[in-house]
Structure 1
């Protein structure tokens, strides 16, 4: 296996499994592990300095997400992403973002609105500097405030499972010329709807924001196709 993993050490077996899963999934999303590449349980465990059990469990989780496939007589290999896979994930993300924003609207507190306003400005400032990694981190915080305000643990958990996908897709979407300026306007539309506690308008604004982000990602990721 060409890519080499760094050692990790935790006491809690469940936490090790989740950490290994996150590391492997990010390596696939970042294309450090390429389609067709084998994942050898023993090698990964040795490189990370852990037992094979959490690695096996993490790989099973990757199989459920269809990021890797078990092929008879060959073992587990990276599946990679098709455009159809990405479109499906983005469609799910759009629906969940719209739903959680509508749930947050009647419950959100004035202090949260102020935090959203500050973050929207900071995101725009970082965009202006071309610092998309920092703006993406701030963007995560922006949406996290809304997620928590919704007080819907199940929807939150669904979105959390998509977090790493959304983060990678957003980084690419932000690189589209003109997209940062659109994000500034879209964030403020969401904030205004939440300030008025208007669930319907918050849902519409969040859906528009997510759809535009999805469109920007697809244009940047598949422009040559």
Structure 2
């Protein structure tokens, strides 16, 4: 019997073509009891679906974060949960560096000026950005993606790297060339840029809040390529008006 595999989110066309040679792809949860495996990317896989998926033996996350899957429910029903760890690490690292450059050099502001025909505004103080060269970069999380970000930042811009990661020992930080900071508040006070690379869990949800931002270095540039819930919209909204972010 050909296995039934749920896949609703878009993934690489070549991967879909390979899957179709071996399985029957289903793009809805109308009959979860008929599914043998589930692949998710943006879609949520809640307990209501998992509890009905009696035949399912695997839930595969097309990515790293597992916050869209009810992992506890999967364990309860004996379903393995896997992720593609490292599969998009280089892509995310490059994106994080790209965001830093875009914000530091005010590319969005300048692009809007160009679109509006305001060429004469270029060169004014408000259009002058920052160089990344020699700046202090703080990493929240010291895993594979963060390490790639650090490699690029050091090689291209000679950045000094700081990290907050309670699971990374001081010895490991030294081996990676990171300066370990013990608190998030301490990190944002010490650096010019922060790049977030942690999963969304109970311990990381809203870890960036008004109290943390109040300690931040003036005009801190914050890049979050993990999950929005790590800071939440309220935390950004409450950032002190006399400081930049």
**TM bucket by the smaller chain?**
under 0.3
Structure-1-length-normalised TM-score: 0.23
**More helix, by proportion:** 1
Whose relative contact order is higher, 1 or 2, with alpha carbons under 8 Å and at least 6 apart?
A: 1
Structure-2-length-normalised TM-score: 0.22
